[in-house]
Chain A
C-alpha cells in the first residue's frame, strides 16, 4: 500500500502532509510525557520486527500479494502514539533506502498507515474491553477468580505458562483487518481525488477495497498470532485492557 511518487497531486500531497505533521506533533507531545527510557529498546525491537514481517509477502488472488502493515500490532503492545512514531521511522527508511513508497508521498503513506489505522486500534480495543468485561462477569458469576484475562498481576505473576488471552487474539484479528480496509479506503479516496491519477473515486475506491478486504485477513491473522505469541512468552509486556487508552 506504499503510494509511489507521481500518483498524488499537490493538493492531496499538501493535505496529507499537513494531517501527518499535525498528528506527529500530537504524538511527540504525548510520547514525551508517557514514554519511559526503559521502553525505548522495546519499541526499537518492535520496529525491526514489523520491518522484518513486512518483508514477508503472502499471496492472495490473481497474482497479487499482501504483507503486514503492523500498526495495530505495535499499538496493542505499546500505545497508538508510539506506534505512529514507529511507523513513521519504518516508512521513512523504506522510502529513502529502498524506494518503497515515494518521498513526496511519504506524508500520505504515514497518514494512511499510521493515522487512519488508528481506527483498527480502536476496534481492537473495543473488542478486547468488551470481551474482557464479559469474561470477568462470567468468572465472578461462577464464584472463581481463575481467569487469564483479569489483569497483568494475574497474567504475569503466575509461575506456570499463562493462558493466551482470547480477547487479545480476537481483538487483534478484527482490528488488524479493519486497519487495512480503512487505510485502503483512504488511499483509494486520495488516488481518486488526485488529478495526477486519471481515474476517479468510482473506480479507485472499489478496486482498492476489493484487494484489501482479502489482504486484511492476512493482517488480522498475523496480528492475532503475534499477539498470542507475546501473550504466551512475554505476558508482562502485554498491557491489560484497563491500562490501554484510546488515544495514547
Chain B
C-alpha cells in the first residue's frame, strides 16, 4: 500500500477508534443509558399477556464468562464493571474480526 493509502487508513482507524471510545465513555457517563427490557423482551411480555414467559432451551449454554454483561453472576455489579466488560468485549470483537478477516484474505487463491 502507498504511503498516502496508509495515512488514509490510519486516519479512518483513528476516527473510528475515537468513536468506539466515545461510545464506551458515553455508556459510563450518560445518564440516559437505560437497562429496561429491549423490544423483543417487551414484545414477548406483551404477547404472553404480561406473564413472565421463561423459555426452556433443549440445550443450555452455560459457559459465557460475562452473562448479561456482568461479572460474577451479576452480584455486586456496578455501572463501572459493566463498562469494563464492554471494553473487554470491544477488544475481543476487534481481535476476532481482524483474525477472521485476515484469514479470509490470506486464504484467497491468487489466479
Chain A positions within 8 Å of B, measured between CB atoms, are 1-7, 28, 31-33, 35-38, 40-49, 51-53, 55-60, 62-67, 85-86, 89-90, 92-100, 102-104, 184, 187-188, 191, 196-199, 203-204, 207-208, 210-212, 215, 226, 229-230, 233-234, 236-237
Contact = CB atoms under 8 A, between A and B. Distances in A.
Nearest to B70: A98
A5 B101 contact: no
B27 to A, nearest CB: 5
B36 to A, nearest CB: 4
A20 to B, nearest CB: 15
Nearest to A50: B93
Given A45-B17, A46-B16, A89-B96, A59 B56 contact: no
A210 B43 contact: yes
B34 A57 contact: yes
Contacts of A233: 11, 15
A52 B97 contact: no
Interface in B81-111: 85-86, 89-98, 100-102, 104-105, 107-108
Top 5 closest pairs, chain A to chain B, by CB: A6-B55, A5-B57, A6-B57, A211-B39, A47-B97
DSSP class of B's interface residues: helix, strand, loop or mixed? helix
A55 B36 CA distance: 13
B59 A104 contact: yes
A45 B20 contact: yes
Contacts of B78: none
B27 A93 contact: no
Interface string B72-86: 000000000000011
A178 B88 CA distance: 31
Given A28-B104, A45-B13, A226-B19, A98 B33 contact: no
Given A40-B105, A207-B46, A237 B100 contact: no
Given A45-B17, A56-B27, A234-B11, A5 B60 contact: yes
Given A7-B55, A37-B105, A85 B39 contact: no
Given A49-B19, A65-B38, A207-B43, 12 more contacts: A1-B38, A4-B55, A37-B102, A41-B9, A49-B23, A55-B89, A58-B32, A64-B39, A97-B66, A98-B66, A103-B61, A191-B44
B97 A208 contact: no
Contacts of A92: 96
A44 B96 CA distance: 8
B59 A5 contact: yes
Nearest to B101: A40
A173 to B, nearest CB: 18
A53 B23 contact: yes
16 contacts: A5-B60, A6-B58, A32-B108, A40-B102, A41-B13, A42-B9, A43-B97, A46-B16, A49-B19, A53-B23, A63-B36, A64-B39, A89-B93, A207-B42, A211-B39, A234-B16
